[in-house]
């Protein structure tokens, strides 16, 4: 049974909590309407943001491939490991402001075009009736115009002789003709018609253009650009950009890829160009040496009248063929090593080393490859930096160290070749002893022929490498292969559903928060429920609604207002409290008091008396507040009359002479408080007070005592002993909750007896059952807007 009761009570409390907010439903409706309207206006006037993206693959460079621009270096032994930089470096290059600057300059994106329709100006990119070209730009003046917001120009096409351009900020006008240059303050521009323009049916559109510094555009798009690796195990890269104009974002991404490929091709061609210069230089030297040797050979034969020395010495030279071959190879390597050493001595840190010359030894080839990689990195960074950049200094240090290592490796290789040459020389001595019978002429001839063959072999080798290098220059394959061209996936902001839902949520939260905060911070009694919870020991006989200033504060005969009905209900409830006293022959004394002043004691007393008088009862209102009398406010003529205090002091005064019939009702009389005495408490202890009340009991059905606030003075407690019923007035939104403990304690201590609450000045939204269920006896039916206004 207890469990069921507890569940029922909890359910009831939950309903009451919900009702606290539901009764303010107009607040919620207005708040939701305003927030949704605000969200709709925001969506209407805000610019949509789109996300455009493209996907590329960074191709790996194969240094051994014949089509590669660095294959010649690999064969020459100068390069090893000059392959694609780490993917993080390529991402960093794509995100760099230098690449973005080239892209912005290529597309002329520092010039922005706008179309204003009604109140909103939106950027347009493709469909614009004109194009602006900058012939000459003064950057200093441009920054000054931008700082003062004078870089926006409005186009007027109504000029028959050309176009009027108006500075939107300063109002300065310029007249230009299509195709002819004109000055707008900081730049010389040319205006051209856009033949691809699709005519818009709305003639009220206002077109304008804005010229910004390239650096500001780069900074704007740098924060919106994202370059990320799609997969850690691949070189697949996604480039995305957020912008309000999707076509513009797509063009930026595509152009960024083009600029990246251009730079990659330039880097590859730079290596091939340096190789070509080295090969051409060596070909000139070898060609000169080869001509000299062939001339010596020709002169030798002519002087000695030789024809076919080979046939004569073929038998002897068969054993020496292998020696010649090995010696030739070693000599070739020696020449290449010496050439490389000379090139290293004459070159600087910005020069690439020649590669693919055929040096033996993988160690030297790898070192030259790494050296050229460092030189390329240094030259790339130096384009946007100075020699004092810490990165440049670090690279210079690495290049010097690598150069020293290469020199040591070449010296080591040269020493190895010298050893090989000595071994071949020893072998040559053996062969020489076998052909000692060959005439000295043959030996001299073979020496000349040997020199010719060496020079000729080196010459042909360099010619082959020159052709391969020329082929690599002709092949300009892009480094970034496009997987997906730039496309727009859709709108990412503003998100309409989220914003509208957020507006709805905020619209509900705002009144909820206000009501909740108001309830939390409120320390005053608001309605009947709160009064019952705070003071369960004292019953409530009635609620009195709040009255507008325009309405009458006094009840009239046949009054059908909510105020009159609330006092009738209070009187009906009081009958149950006076059930044991209604059979007595004398009148009933009602004491009306409150905790502090301003809670409506006199108002309650007068209207309670009027209600009883309208019912045919003989009623008198006694002004028992001798300190701050308020009864005189309702009868101007009584302010100078004698009253209770005078009666208590002067025993010669007759009570009937002090009673005054009111103008409100023939059954209602007033006995005012009279003169303000210096000792009210002593007067109220006078025996004449009891005698006065006894006499009034004989003459009236109801005696209503309008007393002083009982918390402030002890006067009321002196009178309460004579009262049959004590009506304790509590004013809604005025009486503090903490003050309710005072009447509870007073009743418990016996200072007040037969106490009942009257809740005064209750807001219509909190007023009893009539408002909750939409029924109030005697009240005219109100319109929706009147009810709505009452809620506020």
Give the model's pLDDT for residue 5: 38
Residues 393 and 508 in one domain: no
Q: Are residues 280 and 135 in the same domain?
A: no
pLDDT single digits (tens) 519-558: 788 888 888 888 988 888 899 999 999 888 777 788 888 8
| Residue 71, in any domain of the structure | no
Q: How many domains does the chain have?
A: 4
**Residue 390 domain-assigned (yes or no):** yes
Q: Is 201 exposed, middle or buried (0-12, 13-18, 19+ CB in 10 A)?
A: exposed
**pLDDT band, residue 768 (cuts 50/70/90):** low
Q: Is 60 exceeded by the pLDDT of residue 282?
A: yes
pTM for this structure? 0.53
H/E/C letters for each residue in 427-455? Answer: HHHHHHHHCCCCCHHHHHHHHHHHHHHHH
Whether residue 780 sits in one domain with residue 639: yes
- pLDDT number for residue 401: 82
Out of 39-43, 493-497, 549-553, 582-586, pick the least confident: 582-586
CA distance 661 to 143: 90
Residue 88, domain member (yes or no): no
* Residue-number span of the structural domain to which 33 is assigned: 2-46+494-521
CA-based nearest residue to 191, from 143, 247, 135, 138: 135
Task: Please check whether residue 755 is in contact with residue 728, taking contact to mean a CB–CB distance below 8 angstroms.
Answer: yes
Q: Is the model more confident about 224 or about 423?
A: 224
Residue 314 belongs to a domain: yes
Closest to 229 in 3D by CA, of 94, 375, 43: 94
User: Which stretches does DSSP call E strand in 507-550?
Assistant: 539-545
Angular region, 149: left φ>0, alpha ψ -120 to 50, beta rest: left
Q: Find the mean pLDDT for residues 678-695.
A: 90
d(CA 158, CA 140): 32
Q: In degrees rounded to 5, what are phi and psi of residue 131?
A: -130, 145
Domain shared by 675 and 782, yes or no: yes
Q: Is 614 helix (H, G, I), strand (E, B) or coil?
A: helix
Residue 510 has pLDDT above 50, yes or no: yes
Q: Decide if pLDDT at 50 tops 70.
A: yes
Q: Is residue 312 over pLDDT 60?
A: no
Residue 70 CA neighbour count, 13 Å, CB half: 29
pLDDT at 788 over 60: no
Higher pLDDT, 475 or 570: 570
Q: Check pLDDT > 60 for residue 44.
A: yes
- Answer whether residue 77 shows pLDDT above 60: no
Describe the crossing of helices 97-107 and 214-224 by its angle, rounded to 10 degrees: 120
Residues 362, 464, single domain; the answer is yes
pLDDT at 263: 85
Per DSSP, 662 falls in state -
Q: What is the pLDDT of residue 472?
A: 65
Identify the CATH number of the domain in which residue 716 sits.
3.40.50.300
**Which of 75-79, 454-458, 655-659, 678-682 is predicted with the least confidence, judged by mean pLDDT?**
75-79
Residues of the chain with pLDDT > 70, as a percent, come to 83
| Range of weakest confidence among 162-166, 321-325, 693-697 | 321-325
pLDDT at residue 770 in the model: 44
Mean pLDDT of the 260-284 span:
79
Q: Is residue 690 part of a domain?
A: yes
CA distance 651 to 688: 8
200 shares a domain with 176: yes
Is 506 found in the same domain as 537?
A: no
Q: Same domain, yes or no, for 442 and 538?
A: no
CB count within 10 Å of CB 777 equals: 13
- Give me the pLDDT at residue 253, please: 94
- pLDDT score, position 609: 93
> 38 to each of 33, 182, 510, how far by Cα in Å?
8, 44, 14
Q: What does the pLDDT read at residue 74? A: 47
Answer whether residue 630 is part of any domain.
yes
Per-residue pLDDT for 722 more than 80?
yes
* pLDDT confidence band for 32 (50 / 70 / 90): very high
* Element at 582 (helix H, strand E): none
Q: Is residue 510 part of a domain?
A: yes
Residue 747 forms part of a structural domain? yes
CB 773 within 8 A of CB 558: no
Q: Are residues 638 and 498 in the same domain?
A: no
Length of the chain: 792
**pLDDT level of residue 251 (50, 70, 90 thresholds):** very high
Structure tokens at 563: 């105020």
Residue 434 has pLDDT above 70, yes or no: no
Mean pLDDT of the chain: 81
Could you tell me which residues come within 8 angstroms of residue 754 by beta carbon, excluding any fewer than 6 positions away?
A: 577, 723, 724, 725, 726
The contacts found for 689-695 with CB under 8 angstroms, 24 or more apart, are 689/648, 689/719, 689/722, 690/722, 692/644, 692/647, 692/648, 692/655, 693/589, 693/722, 695/655
Same domain, 556 and 438: no
Q: Read off the pLDDT of residues 567-609 as tens digits, 9 standing for 90 and up.
A: 999 999 998 888 776 555 678 999 999 999 989 999 999 999 9
CB contact set of 479 (below 8 Å; sequence gap of 6+) = 58, 59, 61, 84, 260, 261, 264, 265
Give residue-wise pLDDT tens across range 115-138: 887 777 888 888 888 889 999 999
In a 3-state reduction of DSSP, which class is residue 670? Answer: strand
- Residue 78 pLDDT: 44
Same domain, 761 and 635: yes
186 burial via Cβ count (<10 Å: 0-12, 13-18, 19+):
buried
- Within this chain, do residues 533 and 514 fall inside the same structural domain, yes or no? no
**What is the pLDDT at residue 30?**
92
Average pLDDT over residues 430-454: 69
What pLDDT sits at residue 206?
Answer: 86
CA distance 205 to 505: 37
Q: How far apart are CA 416 and CA 423, in angstroms?
A: 11
Task: Report pLDDT for 637.
Answer: 54
**Three-state DSSP class for 14?**
helix
- Which stretch of 9-13, 410-414, 662-666 has the lowest confidence by average pLDDT? 9-13
């Amino acid at each position: 049974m207890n469990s069921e009761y507890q569940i029922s009570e909890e359910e009831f409390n939950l309903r009451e909590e919900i009702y606290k907010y539901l009764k303010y439903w107009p607040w919620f409706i207005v708040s939701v309407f305003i927030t949704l309207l605000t969200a709709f206006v925001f969506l209407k006037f805000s610019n949509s943001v789109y996300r455009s993206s493209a996907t590329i693959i960074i191709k790996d460079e194969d240094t051994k491939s014949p089509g590669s621009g660095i294959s010649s270096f690999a064969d020459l032994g100068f390069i090893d490991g000059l392959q694609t930089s780490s993917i993080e470096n390529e991402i960093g290059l794509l995100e760099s402001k230098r690449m973005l600057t080239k892209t912005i300059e290529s597309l002329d994106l520092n010039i922005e075009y706008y179309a204003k329709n009604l109140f909103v100006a939106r950027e347009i990119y493709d469909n614009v009736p004109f194009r602006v070209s900058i012939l000459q730009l003064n950057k200093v003046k441009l920054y000054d115009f931008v700082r003062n917001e004078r870089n926006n120009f409005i186009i007027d096409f109504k000029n028959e002789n050309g176009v009027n351009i108006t500075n939107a900020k300063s109002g300065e006008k310029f007249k230009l003709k299509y195709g002819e240059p004109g000055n707008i303050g900081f730049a010389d521009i040319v205006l051209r018609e856009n033949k691809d323009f699709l005519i818009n049916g709305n003639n009220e559109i206002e077109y304008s253009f804005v010229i910004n510094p390239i650096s500001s555009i780069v900074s704007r798009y740098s924060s919106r650009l994202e370059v990320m690796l799609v997969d850690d195990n691949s070189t697949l890269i996604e480039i995305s950009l957020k912008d309000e104009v999707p076509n513009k974002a797509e063009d930026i991404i595509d152009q960024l890829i083009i600029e990246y490929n251009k730079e990659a091709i330039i880097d590859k061609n730079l290596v091939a160009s340096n190789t070509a210069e080295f090969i051409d230089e060596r070909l000139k030297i070898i060609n000169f040496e080869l001509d000299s040797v062939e001339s010596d050979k020709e002169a030798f034969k002519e002087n000695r009248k030789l024809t076919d020395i080979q046939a004569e010495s073929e038998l002897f030279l068969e054993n020496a063929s292998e020696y010649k071959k090995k010696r030739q190879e070693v000599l070739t390597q020696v020449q290449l090593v010496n050439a490389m050493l000379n090139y290293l001595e004459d070159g600087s840190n910005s020069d690439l080393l020649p590669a693919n010359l055929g040096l033996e030894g993988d160690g030297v080839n790898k070192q030259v490859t790494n050296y050229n990689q460092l030189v390329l990195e240094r030259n790339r960074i130096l384009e946007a930096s100075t020699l004092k950049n810490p990165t440049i200094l670090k690279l210079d240090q690495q290049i010097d160290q690598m150069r020293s290592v290469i020199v040591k490796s070449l010296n080591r290789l040269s020493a190895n070749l010298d050893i090989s040459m000595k071994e071949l020389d020893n072998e040559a001595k053996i062969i020489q002893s076998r052909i000692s019978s060959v005439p000295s002429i043959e030996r001299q001839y073979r020496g000349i022929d040997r020199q010719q063959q060496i020079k000729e072999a080196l010459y042909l080798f360099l010619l082959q490498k020159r052709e391969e290098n020329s082929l690599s220059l002709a092949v300009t394959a892009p480094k970034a292969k496009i997987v997906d061209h730039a496309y727009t996936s859709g709108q990412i902001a503003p998100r309409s559903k989220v914003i509208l839902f957020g507006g709805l949520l905020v619209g509900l939260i705002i009144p909820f928060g206000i009501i909740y905060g108001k309830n939390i911070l409120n320390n005053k009694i608001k309605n009947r429920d709160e009064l019952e919870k705070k003071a369960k020991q004292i019953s409530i006989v009635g609620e009195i609604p709040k009255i507008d200033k325009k309405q009458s504060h006094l009840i009239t005969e046949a009054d059908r207002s909510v105020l009159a009905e609330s006092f009738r209900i209070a009187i009906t409830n009081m009958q149950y409290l006076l059930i044991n006293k209604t059979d007595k022959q004398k009148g009933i004394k009602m004491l009306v008091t409150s905790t502090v002043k301003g809670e409506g004691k006199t108002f309650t007393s007068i209207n309670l008396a009027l209600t009883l008088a309208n019912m045919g009862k003989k009623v008198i209102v006694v002004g028992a507040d001798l300190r701050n009398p308020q009864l005189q406010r309702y009868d101007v003529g009584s302010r100078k009359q004698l009253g209770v205090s005078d009666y208590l002091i002067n025993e010669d005064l007759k009570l009937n002479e002090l009673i005054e019939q009111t103008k409100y009702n023939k059954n209602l009389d007033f006995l005012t408080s009279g003169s303000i005495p210096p000792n009210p408490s002593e007067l109220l202890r006078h025996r004449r007070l009891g005698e006065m009340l006894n006499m009034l009991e004989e003459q009236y059905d109801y005696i209503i005592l309008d007393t002083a606030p009982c918390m402030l003075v002890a006067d009321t407690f002196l009178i309460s002993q004579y009262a049959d019923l004590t009506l304790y007035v509590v004013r809604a939104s005025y009486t503090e909750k903490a003050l309710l403990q005072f009447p509870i304690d007073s009743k418990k201590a016996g200072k007040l007896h037969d106490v009942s609450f009257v809740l005064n000045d209750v807001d219509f939204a909190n007023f009893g059952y009539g408002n909750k269920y939409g029924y109030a006896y005697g009240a005219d039916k109100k319109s929706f807007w009147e009810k709505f206004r009452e809620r506020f």
